[in-house]
Chains A and B, each alone.
Chain A
């Protein structure tokens, strides 16, 4: 039971890191990763370590206006933070993120437009560079009616491609406040509505912490670890 959640803390969200940690501990998470776009501005990250029983990891969400800036930002942030997430907004951003081995998690949009679903080229690049594909279940919570039906269809389609290419999959609630956090069982139930198998959803919830543990080890080159 080592479930993990990626979220945003104050000032980008509306709850401080320690409040998120306190709520996550109550819900049964063992760790959480704070993925703010400006991680150096997180409000009192040291206060979160006062909450015992939950590990708070400071990661970063990489945002950039255009692909070239994204590349340089990724390499700048990689050395400082053990977890890098990219929210795929445009096709170019998705392409660059999936081709960069420094990216840990690519939050792929689940859009109805068939051209913007998880493409074969992206999936192949993500597999080659070990980039995990993230599903933001916040849409399942916040949307209603036909827009949610469209989201569900796109999510199922993306999941099929991810399964076909054996990509690592992660799920998050896209939490911006402590009220957005869901218990791990609730997250698994939501993921099952979106077409996940139970084991798949459990693995998807464990994935971010596993990635952080891998990144925190000292790798000198691919496959060679400094002990």
Chain B
């Protein structure tokens, strides 16, 4: 219920978070998972004190509204999420602000985006071989030929960087001898 007295108004904080996932995740699935993680960790009574609302989500970064006294709880909720609809994800909180405007200006960068690239190149090394799923700057996600390589960690892909493939050249972009 909307209160007219400013002192009785709920004080809010806006948390910017970043999603790292092996595949694309929709905002609806993400919010369902956040709610289920919250209910699981703090229960219904905890959830009624800290009402979470997803303000925006662009597939990579998002803005989550929470109660000003429960910032650490919100961080813990985001940290406990590791799987959304069978897709392995990691959620990292980037920062907290008092208004949507400040949070957007401070923590949601508009420029300098590096986009994911998909190419069908292969890596053949002695220790590892497989297909490159996507590259993101220096980061490379690799689908290994031997599925047992990612066994205990629940991930689909191996995380590598171009440093691993460059054969000792610091400025190599990953197209050197490894590929």
Please report A residues at the B interface, Cβ cutoff 8 Å: 10-16, 18-20, 22-23, 27, 43-44, 47-48, 50-51, 140-142, 144-145, 148, 176-183, 185-190, 192-193
B120-179 interface with A by 8 A CB criterion: 127-128, 138-140, 149-150, 152-153, 155, 157-161, 163-164, 166, 170
A19 contact from B76, B82, B159, B170, Cβ within 8 A: B159
Q: Is the interface of B mostly helix, strand, loop or mixed?
A: mixed
User: Residues of B contacting A44 with CB < 8 Å?
Assistant: 163-164
Known contacts A11-B149, A14-B159: A185-B40 contact under CB 8 Å = no
Known contacts A19-B139, A22-B138, A141-B80: A48-B163 contact under CB 8 Å = yes
Interface pick from B23-31, B57-65, B84-92 = B84-92
Known contacts A43-B128, A183-B92: A190-B76 contact under CB 8 Å = yes
Known contacts A11-B127, A176-B152, A189-B72: A47-B164 contact under CB 8 Å = yes
Docked complex Cα distance between A227 and B94 (Å):
43
A43 contact from B89, B127, B139, Cβ within 8 A: B127
Are A179 and B92 closer than 8 Å at their CB atoms? Answer: no
Of all A-B residue pairs in the complex, the 9 with the closest CB atoms, nearest first, are A15-B159, A176-B153, A189-B75, A47-B163, A19-B159, A186-B79, A179-B90, A14-B150, A189-B76
Nearest-CB residue, chain A, relative to B92: A183
Docked complex Cα distance between A145 and B150 (Å):
26
Are B153 and A180 closer than 8 Å at their CB atoms? Answer: yes
Are A16 and B73 closer than 8 Å at their CB atoms? Answer: no
How far, in Å, is B106 (CB) from chain A's closest CB? 15
Of the A-B pairs whose beta carbons lie under 8 Å apart in the complex, a sample of 7, sorted by A's number, is: A14-B158, A18-B164, A178-B159, A182-B90, A182-B92, A186-B79, A193-B76
Are B128 and A14 closer than 8 Å at their CB atoms? Answer: no
How far, in Å, is A92 (CB) from chain B's closest CB? 24
Are A180 and B90 closer than 8 Å at their CB atoms? Answer: yes
Are B159 and A177 closer than 8 Å at their CB atoms? Answer: yes
Are B72 and A192 closer than 8 Å at their CB atoms? Answer: yes
User: Residues of B contacting A23 with CB < 8 Å?
Assistant: 159
User: Residues of B contacting A18 with CB < 8 Å?
Assistant: 160-161, 163-164
Docked complex Cα distance between A13 and B144 (Å):
13
A182 contact from B79, B164, B170, Cβ within 8 A: B79
User: Residues of B contacting A14 with CB < 8 Å?
Assistant: 149-150, 153, 155, 157-159
Docked complex Cα distance between A67 and B82 (Å):
35
Chain A CB within 8 A of B100 CB: no
Nearest-CB residue, chain A, relative to B170: A50
Are B139 and A22 closer than 8 Å at their CB atoms? Answer: yes
User: Residues of A contacting B157 with CB < 8 Å?
Assistant: 14
User: Residues of A contacting B138 with CB < 8 Å?
Assistant: 22
Docked complex Cα distance between A15 and B150 (Å):
9
Docked complex Cα distance between A47 and B89 (Å):
25
Nearest-CB residue, chain B, relative to A19: B159
Docked complex Cα distance between A150 and B73 (Å):
20
User: Residues of B contacting A187 with CB < 8 Å?
Assistant: 79
Nearest-CB residue, chain B, relative to A22: B161
Docked complex Cα distance between A178 and B20 (Å):
10
Are A16 and B152 closer than 8 Å at their CB atoms? Answer: no
User: Residues of B contacting A22 with CB < 8 Å?
Assistant: 138-139, 161
Are A15 and B158 closer than 8 Å at their CB atoms? Answer: yes
Nearest-CB residue, chain A, relative to B37: A144
User: Residues of B contacting A10 with CB < 8 Å?
Assistant: 128, 149, 158, 160
Nearest-CB residue, chain B, relative to A47: B163
Nearest-CB residue, chain A, relative to B21: A179
Nearest-CB residue, chain A, relative to B90: A179
